[in-house]
Amino acid sequence: MAIESVAVIGAGQWGTALAQAVAIAGRRVTLIGRDSAALAEINRDHTNSKHLGPQRLSPMISASNRYSGADLIVLAVPAQASRAALEALGPVGEPVVLTAKGLEARTLLRQSEILAEAAPDAVPYVLSGPSFAVDVAAGRPTAVTLAGDDPAATAEIAAFLAGPTFRPYAASDRVGVELCGALKNIYALAAGAVEGARLGASARAGLIARAFAELGRILPALGGDAGTLMGLAGLGDLTLSCTSTQSRNYRYGVALGRGEAPPPELAEGVATAPVAQRLARGAGVDAPLIDAVNLLLTKTQSIERIVAGLMSRPLKRET
């Protein structure tokens, strides 16, 4: 596979950060977006102040409102917008790196399943792992997972994207990596709610451990490999999202735990939580934490009652 040109679809915070990572690796990249003012600023000033403040961007990044072809596409739009973005591109057969961490609310589909419907000739790859856009854009050390079905092609794309500060590790469990990325946002909502309700660091640590166990039941039931949990896309991303206020889902959860209005920003776990609940129930998997987050989001129960219910579940052996 010869890769010369890269197009990143989505000129928001994450798309701009990924374009910066590709540029730091020494590649020229075209950033595709809709905000004409932001695109002009990127080309003129090499900044995207709306999404990344004063962070300087590489001059190897050019911005455009139109996709005109590339050897590799990186899709960096919110999970619920992926289908529309793909349909806007028209028929594509290029490899597509999917970076959204969420399940489609209307169809219950993973991102690669959406790609298969919207662009059946495209080859899916999934990028996930512990990463914040501001760190990636600033060139801070970041390690992630790139999963694909063809080991050789996946390794080649990972090597192409890799730079001095951005390290993608190639993997084969595309389904498991997708599920980890989507579901960890739900657990981040829960961890934030525990923090917001001031239930203590012990409660949050226990929640993360039980979330890890819950993921271990869900992944194989939905077609993934439980072993993926031991890597960057699993334990790494779960830990980061459940402990840092840089996580939008964590911040959203903190507000819920405090009984406050959530911040007006995208939290992918909000749309994914009811989808995950339906998928888990359909697969016959016990997922009390996902159930608890849905109770919290629908305001069916208070955080105190939800925690009391979890603490009163029958005792059993840990493993």
Q: Which residues pair with 72 in a beta bridge?
A: 6
CB 280 within 8 A of CB 220: no
User: The sheet that has 29-32: what strands, in order across it?
Assistant: 61-64, 29-32, 6-9, 72-75, 95-98, 123-128, 142-148, 166-171
Active site residues: 184
- In the block, which residue shows the tokens 């010369």? 4
Using CA atoms of 14, 20, 22, 27 in order, give the dihedral in degrees to the nearest 10. 150
Q: Alpha-carbon torsion 106, 108, 109, 111, what sign?
A: positive
The C-alpha atoms of residue 119 and residue 92 are separated, in whole angstroms, by: 6
β partners of residue 170: 146
